[in-house]
Amino acid sequence: MILTISGVVLLGIIAFLFFRKDGLKVSHAIVCSLFGFYLAGTAIAPSIKAGGASLASMLGGIKI
């Protein structure tokens, strides 16, 4: 678990720096994908999933 959290933090920092400094390139997209896979293995994953589901539900309920 400690290794997974360290990987998430490291890849999160790298992804943030990539977005701020250079824009998104192919190598950056790979790092961001790895960040997502590591994040899915942490304890915060159910909260992120629930937040995404509620956001989708809110957007789906908007009537134009």
Quote the CA–CA distance of 31 and 23 in Å, as a whole number: 13
The pLDDT of residue 57 is above 60 = yes
Domain boundaries, the chain: 2-60
Amino acid 48: pLDDT: 77
Residue 4 or 41, more confident: 41
Per DSSP, 35 falls in state H
Distances (CA, A) of 28 to 5, 32, 36, 41, 55: 20, 6, 12, 20, 26
- With a CB cutoff of 8 Å and minimum separation 6, the contacts of 11 are 31, 32, 34, 35, 38
> pTM above 0.85?
no
What tens digit of pLDDT does each residue of 9-38 get?
Answer: 777 788 788 778 877 777 877 877 787 888
Amino acid 1: pLDDT: 47
